[in-house]
Amino acid sequence: MGKDECKTMLDALNKVTACYRHLVIALGSTSDSQNLREELKKTRTKAQELAVANRTKLTSLLKDKGISKDDRAEYERLWVLFTSSVELLEVDMKRSLEIGQDFPLKVPRRHLIQTGMTGSTTTVAARAMSVQNMKYEADANIDTVDLKELETEIAQVDQMMEEMELKVQVAPWTVEAKQEAGAELKSTVSVGNSSVGIISICEEEPKETVEGETGLMKVFAGVIFTAVLLIAGILGYLVINL
Amino acid sequence: MTIRNVRDHGQRFRPRMACLKKVESVVLEMQDPKTGVKSQTQRLVITTIPHALTGEDIVAWIANRFKIDAAEARAMGTMMVAFGYIYPLQDHKRLMLKPDTSLYRFQTPYFWPAQQWPVEDTDYAIYLAKRNIRKKGMLELYEQEQYNNLYKWMNHKWDFIVMQAKEQYRAGKERKKPDRVVFDCQERAYWVVHRPPPGTVSAMDYGHDRMVDPNIEEKKTPDYYRRIIMFTQQCIMRPRVKSSVSIGALVKYTTTYKEHDPFLHACLPSNPWLTDDVTYWTLNMPNVETPTKMRVERWTFSFGELLMDPRGRDDFRLFLKKEFSGENLAFWEACEDLKWGAAETMKEKAQQIYKTFLARGAPRWINIDGKTMDITVKGLAHPHRYVLDAAQTHIYMLMKKDSYGRYLKSPVFKETQKKAIAPEQHRFTETQLEQNAKRRRPSLSPIILRQQEEEQKAKLAASGPVDITQVMSKLERKQTK
């Protein structure tokens, strides 16, 4: 059905926008590199393609006069989702242009900000492009060359948004959200417990070392307890049998 | 979708943010591996993260770079932390630079405060949703309140916010562990700066947005020069006072008022803006029964202070009633009413005042000299707002030179002084301060206050001014008896 297609496409756009934001945050810091600039470019292109595809699909659905009221409400909700996504993307693109201009990579006197992030963002970009490994094939001065293209792309996105506003008359404040407050907690219950231990380090600093240590202690205690139980069980069995 | 008819493009400029570009260049200088700030590694339980700085290193670097002393360098460092260019790794809610071994780190350029990128509530909602996921629903109290608020008024975007939060959370997990920790700290630091927890002073408070960019140079058009010419001409025409005289006046003013200024001196019982406790305001209401000692002391500074304070004016009125010279104050109040009142009732008011106070044989006749009386009567032929100005000034000077001195020595004033209260200084603990902040309520509506004022005035009018003619006739009758 049209709705399911729309939803999958919107999910994809959402994913790429989120990854793009992560990449832009790394701009200008010590995890910046030529690779990052290339990743940004690729993610951006993909996001724009998805945006255009989404737009054509949704406009054609909304222009159809013969749909029911419920359907129309649903499409309007999807439209609001789409426009918010594209707005976020546009802001991130503008900011990446600015930061990219402020932090050219080849100039020796211009240092990158020592933010503590030193790893690469390959995995994030791979997630955005839905590939296993990223291939880097751009030339060495992508940071300056790319900026001009970025300007034209921003202008294109701006224009697209203006057209959308004019053509599609959807009042965003009439849309009601389907999710209630705290909905994000539900589907992420199975979120890895391994990450919790690490991230809790950032949380309560006075308890910083204690958190990690009590975690280890608990694991140790568990292991010892099971070992003792096993030994007691075996001894009991031997005593009974012998 | 936000309403995009107001195309922002950073056109709404924030006034005091012009310094941000300068701070950015300083931060860039700090990055130099040779001449910048020394960086260390932060050791956590399992991971080590590079690029941590100690507070003392930052202070030393700033002091060296700008050739200033340590205290000023510390203040400048605190400013950088308050703006969000550097964030503390321990005690992340207190945005100040401690010149010891506490650790700090630089913020990534995306999270720098920038003139043209206002902080969006959508981003804050996404951040709170992500935090909700991470802390499994256990947000801090103020964060929970903000979350509920945003859910209510950004409801149409909420699906997007939830989706985006989940996706950003999953994308974040793709990075290596140390980077993940750093990212969380960065984001949290950004939002501590831009959505400060209650009780913190934020460096981002800036007042109204301006429509003009304060950083651009103004073009030199003929209009601009015309403005400059007018300004300089007015400067030349300004009356000049010897600095010894003006400084003497300033010194006198500050020595008299320095204990009465809440900025410079402790406010008794406590400053409501600091402790959220409104006892100070309730004790100093305009129509309170017993004034505070500080208020009574202010009445002795000048006659103007006494008259401007409603409670002081009441006291003075009482004194004059005992002395049977209340008509002066009544006349002065009536003139004020005429000056500040509505234009429609002006003519009637002026006539009423003439009949009551100025005419020959009037019930409350005031004693003004012949010349002023002439001017006033002539002016009353064509009454306007300031027609009684001369008479009012005369009466004011009369009261100031004569009655005021006697008032300060009178038993009425001494009684009030004795009964005046001097409240104790409040000593609140941290928890009590938080409770006070939660218990804040709006004060009485101005409509109700106005009604109370009107009632007061009506009561005063009803209690009847002392009618001189009646008093004189009573005295005559007594004499003849």
Give me the residue label for tokens 């009425």. B412
Q: What is the pLDDT of residues A136-147, one digit of tens each?
A: 777 777 777 888
Whole-angstrom Cα distance, residue B181 to residue A197? 11
What is the token pair recorded at B126?
A: 């996404």
- Shortest CA gap B91–chain A (Å): 7
Q: Pick the residue with more confidence: A74 or B474?
A: A74
Average pLDDT over residues B83-106: 90
At A191 the pLDDT is: 41
Runs of H (alpha helix) within B195-345: 222-237, 243-257, 272-275, 279-283, 293-299, 303-308, 310-323, 326-340
B42 backbone dihedrals φ, ψ, rounded to 5°: -95, 125
> Is B106's pLDDT higher than 90?
yes
Average pLDDT over residues B58-69: 94
Nearest CA in chain A to B186: A115
Whole-angstrom Cα distance, residue B237 to residue B242? 15
Q: Which of residues 242-261 of B touch A (CB under 8 A)?
A: none
At A192 the pLDDT is: 40
At B466 the pLDDT is: 53
> Is B75's pLDDT higher than 90?
yes
pLDDT tier at B465, thresholds 50, 70, 90:
low
Please answer whether residues B4 and A86 qualify as being in contact, where contact means their C-beta atoms are separated by less than 8 angstroms.
no
> Is B320's pLDDT higher than 90?
yes
Distances (CA, A) of B369 to A52, A152, B55, B326, B398: 89, 83, 74, 18, 11
Return the percentage of chain B with pLDDT > 90, whole number. Answer: 46
At B22 the pLDDT is: 87
What are chain B's domains?
Answer: 16-116 (1.10.10.10), 291-420 (1.10.167.10)
Q: What is the pLDDT of residues B355-396, one digit of tens each?
A: 889 888 888 888 888 999 999 999 988 888 899 999 999 999
> Is B478's pLDDT higher than 70?
no
Question: Could you report how far apart the first and last alpha carbons of chain B are, in Å?
Answer: 92
User: Is cis: bond before B269, omega within 30 of 0?
Assistant: yes
Query: In CATH, what number is assigned to the domain containing residue A34?
Result: 1.20.58.70
Length of chain A in terms of residues written? 242
Length of chain B in terms of residues written? 481
Q: Pick the residue with more confidence: A136 or B81?
A: B81
Rg of chain B over Cα atoms, rounded to whole angstroms, equals: 33
Please answer whether residues B104 and B37 qualify as being in contact, where contact means their C-beta atoms are separated by less than 8 angstroms.
no
Whole-angstrom Cα distance, residue B227 to residue A131? 64
Q: Does A83 touch chain B (CB under 8 A)?
A: yes
Query: Which DSSP helix (H) or strand (E) runs through B419?
Result: helix B411-419
Q: What is the pLDDT of residues A21-48, one digit of tens each?
A: 999 998 888 877 788 888 888 899 999 9
Angle between helical axes of B141-153 and B121-134 (0-180°, round to 10): 130
- Shortest CA gap B34–chain A (Å): 11
Q: Does B421 touch chain A (CB under 8 A)?
A: no
Cβ atoms < 10 Å from Cβ of B99: 19
Domain of A25, in residue numbers: 1-107+140-176
Average pLDDT over residues A62-78: 82
Give me the residue label for tokens 């058009």. B221
Which has the closest alpha carbon to B391: B463, B435, B327, B306? B327
Question: Could you report how far apart the first and last alpha carbons of chain A are, in Å?
Answer: 71
At A193 the pLDDT is: 38
A20 backbone dihedrals φ, ψ, rounded to 5°: -60, -40
What is the token pair recorded at B120?
A: 């969006």
> Is B325's pLDDT higher than 80?
yes
At A198 the pLDDT is: 39
Please answer whether residues A128 and A16 qualify as being in contact, where contact means their C-beta atoms are separated by less than 8 angstroms.
yes
Nearest CA in chain A to B149: A181
A110 with B151: Cβ contact below 8 A: no
Which has the closest alpha carbon to A149: A53, A25, A37, A33? A37
What is the rounded (10 degree) CA torsion for B52, B55, B61, B65?
120
- Shortest CA gap A21–chain B (Å): 8
Please answer whether residues B421 and B290 qualify as being in contact, where contact means their C-beta atoms are separated by less than 8 angstroms.
yes
What is the token pair recorded at B298?
A: 């202010």
In chain A, which residues have their Cβ closer than 8 Å to the Cβ of B119?
none
What is the rounded (10 degree) CA torsion for B443, B447, B452, B455?
180
Q: Does A111 touch chain B (CB under 8 A)?
A: yes
Position B429, amino acid: T
DSSP label of B201: P
Q: How many domains does chain A have?
A: 1
Average pLDDT over residues B336-352: 89
At A1 the pLDDT is: 61
Averaged pLDDT of chain B: 86
Q: Kindly write down the DSSP assignment for every residue of chain A, as one continuous string.
A: -HHHHHHHHHHHHHHHHHHHHHHHHTTTBTT--HHHHHHHHHHHHHHHHHHHHHHHHHHHHHH-TT--HHHHHHHHHHHHHHHHHHHHHHHHHHHHHHHHHH--SS-TT-PPB--S--S--HHHHHHHHT-SS------TTHHHHHHHHHHHHHHHHHHHHHHHHHH----GGG---SS-TTTHHHHTTTS-HHHHHHHHHHH-STTHHHHHHHHHHHHHHHHHHHHHHHHHHHHHHHHHH-
pLDDT tier at B48, thresholds 50, 70, 90:
confident
Average pLDDT over residues B245-250: 95
Return the percentage of chain A with pLDDT > 90, whole number. Answer: 18
At B167 the pLDDT is: 92
In chain B, which residues have their Cβ closer than 8 Å to the Cβ of A213?
45
pLDDT tier at B480, thresholds 50, 70, 90:
low
Strand ranges of the sheet holding B103-106, from the earlier edge strand across to the other edge: B40-43, B48-54, B103-106, B86-88
Averaged pLDDT of chain A: 79
Whole-angstrom Cα distance, residue A161 to residue A149? 18
Which has the closest alpha carbon to B164: A174, A77, A88? A88
Q: What is the pLDDT of residues B185-206, one digit of tens each?
A: 999 999 999 998 886 777 877 7
What is the token pair recorded at B77?
A: 């460092």
> Is B7's pLDDT higher than 50?
no
Whole-angstrom Cα distance, residue A214 to residue A228? 21
At B119 the pLDDT is: 83
Whole-angstrom Cα distance, residue B115 to residue B213? 10
Q: Pick the residue with more confidence: B146 or A142?
A: B146
Whole-angstrom Cα distance, residue B40 to residue A114? 11
Q: How far is CA A73 from the centre of its chain?
A: 27
What pTM was computed for the model?
0.66
Q: What is the pLDDT of residues B8-31, one digit of tens each?
A: 544 456 665 778 888 999 999 898
B174 with A123: Cβ contact below 8 A: yes
B52 backbone dihedrals φ, ψ, rounded to 5°: -105, 145
Beta strands in B55-200 (DSSP E): 86-88, 103-106
Q: Pick the residue with more confidence: B273 or B401?
A: B401
Q: Which range, of B244-248, B437-441, B451-455, averages the lowest pLDDT?
A: B437-441
Please answer whether residues B399 and B332 qualify as being in contact, where contact means their C-beta atoms are separated by less than 8 angstroms.
yes
Q: Does A192 touch chain B (CB under 8 A)?
A: yes
At A207 the pLDDT is: 34
Q: Does B105 touch chain A (CB under 8 A)?
A: yes
Whole-angstrom Cα distance, residue B364 to residue B376? 17
Whole-angstrom Cα distance, residue A19 to residue A56? 23
Q: Is B224 helix (H, G, I), strand (E, B) or coil?
A: helix
Return the percentage of chain B with pLDDT > 70, whole number. Answer: 90
In chain A, which residues have their Cβ closer than 8 Å to the Cβ of B147?
181
Q: What is the pLDDT of residues A186-231, one digit of tens each?
A: 765 434 433 444 344 444 333 333 333 445 666 777 788 888 899 9
Q: Which of residues 84-103 of B touch A (CB under 8 A)?
A: 89-92
Which has the closest alpha carbon to B4: A151, A91, A77, A174? A91
What is the token pair recorded at B260?
A: 């009465």
Please answer whether residues A77 and A126 qualify as being in contact, where contact means their C-beta atoms are separated by less than 8 angstroms.
no
Within-domain flag for A65:
yes
Within-domain flag for A1:
yes
Average pLDDT over residues B341-347: 88
B159 with A177: Cβ contact below 8 A: yes
Which has the closest alpha carbon to B412: B254, B299, B256? B299
Average pLDDT over residues A119-145: 80
Within-domain flag for A83:
yes
Q: In sequence order, which residues have a C-beta less than 8 Å from that of residue B434 and are 6 or more positions away?
A: B199
> Is B458's pLDDT higher than 90?
no
Q: Does A161 touch chain B (CB under 8 A)?
A: yes
Query: Which DSSP helix (H) or strand (E) runs through B41?
Result: strand B40-43
Q: Is B215 helix (H, G, I), strand (E, B) or coil?
A: coil
Whether complex ipTM tops 0.90: no
